[in-house]
Amino acid sequence: MRISVLAWGSIIWDRQNLKVLDGFKPTGPRLPLEFCRISSDGRLTLAIDETVGTACTTYSGTSAFKNIDAAVENLRERENMPGPKGVGFTVLRPRKQSQTAVERHPAAVRAITEWIAASGFDAAIWTALASNFAEKTSKRFSVKTAIHYLENLDGEKLSRALRYTRDAPAEIQTPVREAVDVRWSLGASGAVAHD
């Protein structure tokens, strides 16, 4: 079985223990993405979100595993998830899909399944974590609340958060990324310039 690992964030530039046969290329399906999930270290990270996400080209790499369970486990370890529920997957034959991913982003799962059929892969896996912004901040997600959240991070956390946003591939253009670029411009030295 040939399995695609879909990516749009740090997996592309920081694989850690993720085993892929080749590098990631911007050949994945277009999915609705936004910086709407708060990570354990305070960064706003990318997640598939069919409500606030913007259609962006994703990246694809080929998993070193031929077994879907082993590939899912490898991605779960890379993402430091307590269990495999947060890993989305879809297999063409026999048809098998992650129920969690179908519940969180059904249109994206359909788009991924169509992309697999056209791409020569037999299956795909991806990080299927949902936005937790409202849960973590008690505020509804919007570009304005995202920028306000970032403005309230301390120096090192803010630097890490801005670095993640800027390191995302050029294909990932979202309203939050645009607002971050406007709010925090880079000076000639590369240091973050604040108002």
Instruction: Count the domains in the chain.
Output: 1
pLDDT tens digits, residue range 45-69?
999 999 999 999 999 999 999 999 9
Give the pLDDT band of residue 70 (cuts 50, 70, 90): very high
Using H for helix, E for strand and C for coil, what is the string for the chain?
A: CCEEEEECCCCCCCCCCCCECCCCECCCCEEEEEEEEECCCCCEEEEECCCCCEEEECEEEEECCCCHHHHHHHHHHHCCCCCHHHEEEEECCCCEECHHHHHHCHHHHHHHHHHHHHHCCCEEEEECCCCCHHHHHCCCCCHHHHHHHHHCCCHHHHHHHHHHHHHCCCCCCCHHHHHHHHHCEECCCCCEECC
| Tokens linked to 115 | 């992309």
Measure the CA–CA gap between 52 and 33, rounded to whole angstroms: 8
Question: Taking residues 9-28, what's their average pLDDT?
Answer: 96
Total-model pTM: 0.92
Q: What is the mean pLDDT of residues 166-189?
A: 87
With 0-12 / 13-18 / 19 or more C-beta atoms within 10 angstroms meaning exposed / middle / buried, residue 26 is: middle
Higher pLDDT, 114 or 194: 114
Boundaries of domain holding 181: 3-193
**Which structure tokens are listed for 193?**
């310039």
CA max distance for the chain? 55
